[in-house]
Amino acid sequence: MDLKFRHGELDGYRFADPGLLQQALTHRSAGAPHNERLEFLGDSIVNLTVAEVLFQRWPKADEGALTRARAELVREASLATIARRLELGARLTLGPGEMKSGGHRRDSILADALEAVVAAIYLDAGFEGCRAAVLPWFEESLAALPVGKPGKDAKTRLQEWLQGRQRALPSYELVSESGDDHAKLFTVSCTIADPTLTAEGEGSSRRNAEQAAALGVLEKLDLSK
């Protein structure tokens, strides 16, 4: 076993099965066994864990506020921030191509690895053990949210601003799509007619690129905060 996984420890959690941590931090570009199946499981566990803590801590928040808060906490950039805090990038096992292109710094790879690690802890310790280990990773982000009134995403804010002034809704157009299947980069443009403004945004999914483009328009309208 690779020395960096030999002790199977991450942020104070020691794995009974260090092999789970090794698999969680192995990108598919490095060959099998890799972390994609763990990522699938971890995505659901992260969503459940975050939904549960929001439900408990915000007893007066409605479904819409809870949904927006969860979306903010589990979005790719938020998970990648946690992964960097845990220094997962330095522990990733990547194929030569991903190593050369700086895959250990890419949000999509870091976020996927974090979800895989969450699944690995779940398989190693069960849900309660996983919850106890993982929840502290989200405390900083939870504390930063306005209680019961989390900020809306950029597309929603832009749409509501336009609707409030009875103006046409924005249009989104895919400008380009590049990269391998496991490391796609999408560029999308967002255009509004009144005033006439266009901005482009990039992301690892079309949805993320649309959000970035909408934020670009909000910035041009001086409404980004």
User: Are 40 and 118 members of one domain?
Assistant: yes
Q: How far apart are CA 224 and CA 105, in angstroms?
A: 26
Q: Is 115 a catalytic residue?
A: yes
Q: Is 36 a catalytic residue?
A: no
Task: Confirm or deny that 39 is annotated as ligand binding.
Answer: yes
Alpha helices in the chain (DSSP H): 18-24, 36-57, 63-74, 76-85, 96-100, 107-144, 154-164, 206-220
User: Are 9 and 117 members of one domain?
Assistant: yes
User: Are 10 and 102 members of one domain?
Assistant: yes
Of 98, 107, 115, 210, the catalytic one is 115
For 11-44, the pLDDT digits (tens) are 889 999 999 999 999 999 998 899 999 999 999 9
Q: How far apart are CA 145 and CA 166, in angstroms?
A: 30
Of the three residues 97, 125, 144, the one that is the final residue of a domain is 144
State percent of the chain over pLDDT 70.
92
**Residue numbers of the domain that contains 43:** 3-144
- The predicted pLDDT at position 205 comes to 82
Any residues with CB less than 8 A from the CB of 9 and at least 6 apart, and which? 15
User: Are 109 and 203 members of one domain?
Assistant: no
For 147-190, the pLDDT digits (tens) are 655 567 789 889 999 999 999 999 999 999 887 766 678 899 99
Task: Confirm or deny that 115 is annotated as ligand binding.
Answer: yes
Give how many domains the chain has, as a whole number.
2
